[in-house]
Homo-oligomer: A and B are copies of this chain.
Amino acid sequence: MIETAAHLLTTLRARNPRVHCITNFAAMNLTANMLLAIGATPSLTYAADEVYDFTMRADALLINLGTLDEARKTAIPLAISTGKPWVLDPVFVHRSDVRLNFAKQFMPHILRGNADELAVLKPTSGVIVQTGAIDHVRDGARSINIHNGHPLMAKVTAMGCAGTAIMAAALAVEKDAFVAACCALIWLGIAGEMVKATAPGSFQPAYLDALYLLDEATIRQKARIS
Chain A residues proximal to chain B, CB less than 8 Å:
24-30, 32-33, 36-37, 42-50, 53-54, 57, 66-71, 92, 95-99, 155-158, 197-202, 204-213
Contact = CB atoms under 8 A, between A and B. Distances in A.
Contacts of A213: 199
A74 to B, nearest CB: 10
Contacts of A98: 47, 49-50, 53
Contact of A209 (B29, B71, B202): B202
Given A33-B200, A201-B204, 7 more contacts: A26-B32, A36-B155, A36-B157, A43-B95, A48-B69, A202-B208, A205-B205
B199 A202 contact: no
Contact of A50 (B29, B48, B68, B212): B68
